[in-house]
Amino acid sequence: MEQQKRPYWLAAAVALWGIVWVWQGLRLPLTDRYAYIGPGLPVVGIGAGLVILALILALQIRGGVPFEEQSAEDVSADHHVSWYGLAFAAAGAAVPMLTMRHLGFVITCMLAFWLITRAFRSPRPALDLVIGAVVSLGAWYLFRLLGVQLGGLLPIAGI
Amino acid sequence: MDALAALFDGFAIALQPINLMWALIGTFMGTAVGVLPGIGPALTIALLLPVTANVAPTSAFIMFAGIFYGAMYGGSTTSILLNTPGESGSMMTALEGNKMARKGRGAAALATAAIGSFVAGTIATLGLTFLAPPIAELAFIFTPPDYFALMLLAFLSVSVVLGASRVRGFIALFIGLALGLMGIDSQSGVQRLTFGLPALLDGVEMTVVLVSLFAIGETLYVASRFAGQPPNLNPLAGGAWMTRADWRRSWKPWLRGTAIGFPIGALPAGGSEIPTFLSYAAERRLTAHPEEFGHGAIEGVAGPEAANNASAAGVLVPLLTLGLPTSATAAILLAAFQNYGLQPGPLLFINSGDLVWALIASLYVGNLMLLILNLPLVGLWVRLLFIPRPYLYAGILIFALVGIWGVANSWMDLAMMFGVGLMGYVMRVYDFPIAPVLIGLILGPMAEVQLRRALAIGQGDPMALVSTPLSAVLVTICVLILVVPPVLSWRRARRVAAGST
């Protein structure tokens, strides 16, 4: 996202998180006969901390505190934002939620691999799909040999 | 000397061929991930956790130690040749090292970094060898209030030291603490923040959060701001190795860097930014060639690089003796110990002495391996930088999926990967530090246990938390860390205001 001058939504999100925690914590016993602190009290405490920090952040934002993007390798010097790249990368990270259980690890990884190569504007989509398939199958086979449980090849077909 | 005898036993284990192989694999992978962008030591160890379920703990930790040290060697290579420090500890190295490389002195810069890392790593490992056992002994008399105060200090220093803004550091910490509360409460058996979802009963997996924050967050961030051009590599040509003058100018900064890095790394307020920065500042002041600073002074590479490695060994002191992680990599190492049912702390030296000493011995071995791997093979490592970025980041995502799906085959973890990955993206855009989330997540539940224990022992009196001398001192330091900087800046602001009227 392009940086806004006054990203109040950041403070709102943190505050909302805190409020949910306080609300959930208040439904649990706050004190305990032996340990004095019940299971709910830390939840309320951390939630309240988030709300207070959100308020301070909101004040800072109102005062015009600068937000500088973190530097990273491969990032363009002017931090120009490509929504196209972000959308495809996000799709690549989201696709496992949809496909992993039915289509299995290999097909999921192939799709995710392909979506990430699109995000980085790789010039040859068809080749990327083949490379994705080979890498996914290789990773699945190798890590299964090493004893990592990754599920079947195509769960929906019972393989 | 007990420590010496134990260390020799450790060497007997670490020098077994199978463990030498693990050390080699570890140092190799560590150097590779140090060179590669988008992937660091913490992420690599997190991704390897499912694989090591079938490996003996000693071998796994020998490999992890290799990754831990190797990544720092690799990180210095990229900061010198590319001016892209892969991790915060290499930032100072990039300042002078890259200038040296541009002047065709890249080989000398790499050499002083590698040899300096070796010297510092070896001395700091010696420090660890002789310092860890007494501290572990000392930790036996630590009471719950002491532990709680120590963790409080670790929380505070991690959030205040890392990142540009204290408020954002604390928000990151509290997010980690908030995530750490999810699941069944170990003391009362009550479900907390599970929102009726059985998948959340076991709480939030450290690996999932770490992989999502680092791998997914970084991929999203780089994809949205991709430079789209190959890295601008400084040629290794004109490969004049270290001259006699270079050696003469390097050895003192190596030792000074070690002396600065190890103690600061060993404090619960550890980390690598402060020691590397201090070392750079010290070398700049002490140098006989001040005119070269900013234009490629070899002291400015030798000192910070040594400090960086020494502080990494220092971080292992609180981790092994107190179970207190002070960096993201230390946090995942702690999670790895817990995976094997081991709890770092004073008892680790007694119950799993073999493992600890083999680990420490492997640090010596790994350092030597890294020196051999890095000096002649640097040209090979540099080639890793030319992996096409689409495939590099897509490959990172596949390994992230192995790491996350392999933990429990849980759909909730995949959803968490997406959600926490987006959070990692936002944190990068708005400059929130990431390590406090991980420290909060792993230390939070431990701090809660100690807090409740301390109160139970003190019969509910909050003063019980400062009832021992150590806890009182530590809590006082915490209060000072919190209070002093804002008061100072407030007074400065008032003085400025008074001066202007």
d(CA B197, CA A82): 36
Task: Return the percentage of chain B with pLDDT > 90, whole number.
Answer: 45
Residues A101, A147: one domain?
yes
Q: Mean per-residue pLDDT for B427-456?
A: 91
| Per-residue pLDDT, B63 | 94
Confidence at residue B126, expressed as pLDDT on a 0 to 100 scale: 93
Domain assignment present for residue A55? The answer is yes
Q: State the pLDDT confidence band at B393, using cuts at 50, 70 and 90.
A: very high
Model confidence over B139-172: pLDDT tens digits?
A: 888 899 999 999 998 898 888 766 668 899 999 9
Residues 393-422 of B with CB under 8 A from A: 393-395, 397-399, 401-402, 405-406, 409, 411, 414-415, 417-418, 421-422
- Quick check: is B236 in a domain? no
| Domain membership flag for residue A73 | no
Q: Which residues of A touch B164 (CB under 8 A)?
A: 68
Residue B267: predicted pLDDT: 82
Select from A32, A60, A96 the Cβ nearest to the Cβ of B414.
A96
User: What mean pLDDT comes out for the span B50-64?
Assistant: 88
Region of residue B238 (left: phi > 0; alpha: psi -120 to 50; beta: else) = left
Res. A75 pLDDT band, cuts 50 70 90: confident
The Cα angle at residue A94 between residues A23 and B195, in degrees rounded to 5: 20
| For residue A3, pLDDT beyond 60 | no
Cα distance between residue B275 and residue B210, in whole Å: 25
Q: Rounded mean pLDDT of A14-43?
A: 90
- What is residue A50's predicted lDDT score, i.e. its pLDDT? 97
Please name the amino acid found at residue B488.
L
- CB-based contact, B430 to chain A, within 8 Å: yes
pLDDT at residue A1, rounded to an integer: 44
In a domain, A126, yes or no: yes
Distance separating alpha carbons of residues A108 and A133, to the nearest angstrom: 10
Using CA atoms, how far residue B359 sits from A68, B153, B312, B364, in Å, is 40, 27, 14, 9
Positive or negative: CA dihedral B335, B340, B343, B347: negative
pLDDT at B386: 82
What is the model's pLDDT at position B106? 83
**Rounded-to-integer distance, Cα A125 and Cα B248, Å:** 54
Count of CB atoms within 10 A of residue B217's CB?
A: 23
pLDDT computed for residue A2 by the predictor:
47
3-state secondary structure B410-434: CHHHHHHHHHHHHHHHHHHHCCCCC
Region B252-266 average pLDDT: 92
Q: Give domain status of residue A71, yes or no.
A: no
Quick check: B50 and A143 CB within 8 A?
yes
- The average pLDDT across B480-501 equals 79
Using the predicted structure, report yes or no on whether residue B1 has a pLDDT greater than 90: no
B62-76, B355-369, B374-388: which has the minimum mean pLDDT? B374-388
- Whether B166 contacts chain A with CB within 8 A: no
Q: Find the domain containing B333 and state its range.
A: 2-207+220-227+248-500
Question: Which secondary structure element, helix H or strand E, spans residue B183, and what is its range?
Answer: strand B183-184
In a domain, A150, yes or no: yes
- Verify whether the Cβ–Cβ distance B190 to A101 is below 8 Å: no
Residue B7 and residue B55 in contact, taking contact as beta carbons nearer than 8 Å = no
Q: Categorize the per-residue pLDDT at A133 as very low, low, confident or very high, splitting at 50, 70 and 90.
A: very high
Helix (H, G, I), strand (E, B), or coil: what is residue B24? helix
Kindly report the length of chain A. Answer: 159
Total domains in chain A come to: 2
Q: Which helix (H) or strand (E) holds B184?
A: strand B183-184
- Residues of the domain holding A19: 8-62
According to DSSP, the residues that pair with B76 across neighbouring strands are none
Is the Cβ–Cβ distance between B35 and B384 less than 8 Å?
A: yes
Average pLDDT, integer, range B82-103: 78
Q: Where is mean pLDDT largest: A77-81, A96-100, B378-382?
A: A96-100
Q: How many Cα atoms within 13 Å fall on the side-chain side of residue B138?
A: 13
Please indicate whether, in this complex, the C-beta atoms of B406 and A88 are within 8 angstroms of each other.
no
Average pLDDT over residues B91-98: 83
Indicate whether A88 belongs to any domain.
yes
A147: left (phi over 0), alpha (psi -120 to 50) or beta: left
Q: In the structure encoding, which two tokens stand for residue A141, read together?
A: 């086979």
Residues B107-124 pLDDT 10s: 888 889 999 999 999 999
Q: Which residues of A touch B82 (CB under 8 A)?
A: 73
Sign of CA dihedral A114, A116, A117, A118: positive
When scoring B387, B452, B461 by the number of chain A Cβ atoms within 10 A, the one with the most, hence best to mutate, is: B452
Find how far residue B487's CA is from the centre of its chain: 31
Residue B48 has pLDDT above 60, yes or no: yes
Indicate whether this complex's ipTM tops 0.85: yes
B398's CB contacts (< 8 A; 6+ apart) are A109, A112, A113, A135, A136, A139
Give me the amino acid identity at B471: S
pLDDT value of residue B123 = 95
Residue A91 in contact with residue B383, Cβ under 8 Å?
no
Q: Report how many domains make up chain B.
A: 1
B174, A49: Cβ pair inside 8 Å? yes
The residue-averaged pLDDT of A36-52 equals: 94
Residue A75 maps to a domain: no
- Please report which helix (H) or strand (E) contains residue A36, including its range: strand A36-37
User: Could you tell me if A49 and A97 lie in one domain?
Assistant: no
**Is A61 within 8 Å of chain B by CB?**
no
Other beta carbons within 10 Å of B104: 16
Residue A74 domain flag = no
CA distance B277 to B284: 11
Q: B134 is written with which tokens?
A: 């007494």
Which of left, alpha, beta for B393 (phi over 0: left; psi -120 to 50: alpha)?
A: alpha
Domain contains B309: yes
**Are A144 and A96 part of one and the same domain?**
yes
Two tokens, residue B74: 């690799």
Distance separating alpha carbons of residues A110 and A148, to the nearest angstrom: 19
Query: Is residue A86 within 8 angstroms of chain B, CB to CB?
Result: yes
Mean pLDDT of chain B: 88
